[in-house]
Structure 1
Amino acid sequence: MTSVSGQPIAGLAAYRRLSLGEVASTNASALAAAREGDVGNLWVTAIRQSAGKGRRGREWVSEPGNLYASLLLIDPAPVSRIGTLPLVAGLGVYRALRSFFANNPQALAIKWPNDLLVDGHKICGILLESGTLADGRLAVVIGCGINCSTHPENPLYPTTDLAECGIEVEPERVFPSLAAEMAGVLAEWSGGAGFARIREDWLFAADGKGGPVTIRRQDSETAGIFEDIDRDGYLLLNVAGERRRISAGDLFFSTGEGRAYGG
């Protein structure tokens, strides 16, 4: 195996960083590194993305001033346990941002499965992508877009950024916290064997637990009470007294006026 060029990260001997200028997307660059034989634990960061995307192929605005970072992992867990990794990633980013909200920690929360919210406004999106390589290895990329100084305007999905929250911080100051906390939570996860502890911490940080939510998918939606998440990371929704397991979808919180908001 080989490694794509990258610099060691201070304090994280097992991880490297490849810093780029403008790329189509850091996720795509990380997957390209995997196809070139990289051994993994490689962070790819960029100043700007020209073709950033979110879940379900949505465009992700990627102007300079925010942090665009993707972590390449190779064979991080048995395939049966990979499904919990999106929640692990969400907790890693939550821990990374928590120190910046030391004076107002309750403002920061996770929306299932891994959007980061500040008082209900999205401040970070996370996109996981994977692919099986020619040699049989599984490449998994955790892409993180953290709004530091700007955020997209979208009436359907309220958004914010660190500067708007009164936190003036450059992406280069956010990255070390992100890299350290993600390394820590991945070590706790231990290839899926440690998800029980991750689940407890995730639920503590979750927004909306115990309240009404709507899960929207491409061709349907389901409304109910957000009761829990299970050991596989599925959302457990109480729908008219029946508990349902939800594996994917966009979560919207119901408001007192009958509307819903999400991100």
Structure 2
Amino acid sequence: MTQFELGVEAKRAGYRLTGFDAIGSTNSEALAAAAAGDPGGIWFAALHQTAGRGRRGRQWHSTPGNLAASLLIVPDATPDLIATLGFVAGIALNRALGVVLPGGAIRIGIDGADDRDRRARIALKWPNDVLADGAKLAGILLEAAPARNGRSPIIVGIGVNVVSAPEGVPYPATCLRALGVDSSAQDVFEALSDAWVEAFGLWDDGRGVARVLEQWRGRAAGIGADVAVSQDGKVVRGIFETIDPAGRLIIRDESGGRIAITAGDVHFGATASARS
């Protein structure tokens, strides 16, 4: 099996790890561990997924050398708070990418490159993507396992395009190698495992959701810009105003009304401002 390593803070916090060269799906492996009664706090990481999946049952394209990682946890929180773990994963992934990008720093803002240096701008896209220069670099997927003893095991799945980006997808995509980053999937995972400890501690079994969302907003793509959200064939357009305390995307429409979006596919820029 491939040699992945937990970061220092992750080891100190008692997390465990199983690594793979290739696997069908790290999320499926984590779900199986949950069904077998694993107490949680274990990562499953792989260099290649042959049956990865994304949000809404879509395929997650993964080629050898990219990172697929899933964390099984059993949080002590209500379902509404557990749903905000995607934002925890977002800020953890943002911090991890800050470690592996040149100079150990990132620049935050609306989609696009920062003219002041050559580093790619990293931003979090609601609800579960990480962008670099407006192109998808990473994705997050939460899945719940059947509850036991009144608590629901949760799988936090994370995929990062390290050495290649998928082709033939209906959105721009990029990878770390295309951004001039030579870090391996193992490097990204080690940084991610430590960044998760900090972000999850901030969440604090749901008591720190407000602080998590504040940090997420500060790293968000598109706040204040035109946005379009596709929901089951319907498109809602307006200005991306904020993320509310429940993690919903708030759009201000042409009439000045505020619309709360709980799920959908988000588009910025020319696509968002176009009128059908």
Give the alignment's TM-score, normalised by structure 1: 0.90
Residues 14-54 of structure 1 deviation map (CA, whole Å, 9 limit, x = unaligned): 21101123221000100100111101011001221111011
SS of 2:68's partner is strand
For residue 164 of structure 1, report the CA deviation from its aligned partner.
0.3
For residue 221 of structure 1, report the CA deviation from its aligned partner.
1.7
Whether the 8 Å contact between 1:228 and 1:235 is mirrored in structure 2 is: yes
Separation in 1, partners of 2:182, 2:6: 27
Give the number of the structure with larger relative contact order, counting CA–CA contacts within 8 Å between residues 6 or more apart: 2
Which ranges of structure 1 fall in alignment gaps of 5 or more residues? 1-5
The 1:36–1:118 alpha-carbon spacing in structure 2 relative to 1, beyond 3 Å, is: same
Separation in 2, partners of 1:83, 1:141: 11
Separation in 2, partners of 1:95, 1:128: 19
The 1:155–1:54 alpha-carbon spacing in structure 2 relative to 1, beyond 3 Å, is: closer
Aligned to 2:174: 160
Separation in 1, partners of 2:268, 2:124: 12
Are 1:16 and 2:31 an aligned pair?
no
Q: Which has the higher strand share?
A: 1
Q: CA RMSD in A?
A: 2.1
Which ranges of structure 2 fall in alignment gaps of 5 or more residues? 108-120
Residues 174-220 of structure 1 deviation map (CA, whole Å, 9 limit, x = unaligned): 11110010111011001111111111111111110001101112232
Residues 142-165 of structure 1 deviation map (CA, whole Å, 9 limit, x = unaligned): 101111101101352100000000
Separation in 2, partners of 1:185, 1:76: 16
Aligned to 1:3: none
Aligned to 1:32: 32
Aligned length: 255
Are 1:99 and 2:99 an aligned pair?
yes
Aligned to 1:186: 200
For residue 135 of structure 1, report the CA deviation from its aligned partner.
4.5
Separation in 1, partners of 2:272, 2:249: 24
The 1:243–1:218 alpha-carbon spacing in structure 2 relative to 1, beyond 3 Å, is: same
Aligned residue type for 1:11: E
Equivalent residues in 2 for 1:20-169 (5 A)? 20-103=20-103, 105-106=106-107, 107-133=121-147, 135-154=149-168, 156-169=170-183
SS of 2:84's partner is helix
The 1:135–1:224 alpha-carbon spacing in structure 2 relative to 1, beyond 3 Å, is: same
For residue 56 of structure 1, report the CA deviation from its aligned partner.
1.0
Separation in 2, partners of 1:154, 1:95: 29
Whether the 8 Å contact between 2:102 and 2:181 is mirrored in structure 1 is: no
The 1:226–1:257 alpha-carbon spacing in structure 2 relative to 1, beyond 3 Å, is: closer
SS of 2:178's partner is coil
Separation in 1, partners of 2:204, 2:225: 31
Aligned residue type for 2:9: G
SS of 2:80's partner is helix
SS of 1:18's partner is strand
For residue 168 of structure 1, report the CA deviation from its aligned partner.
0.7
Separation in 2, partners of 1:233, 1:80: 10
Equivalent residues in 2 for 1:233-248 (5 A)? 233-240=247-254, 241-248=256-263
SS of 1:124's partner is strand
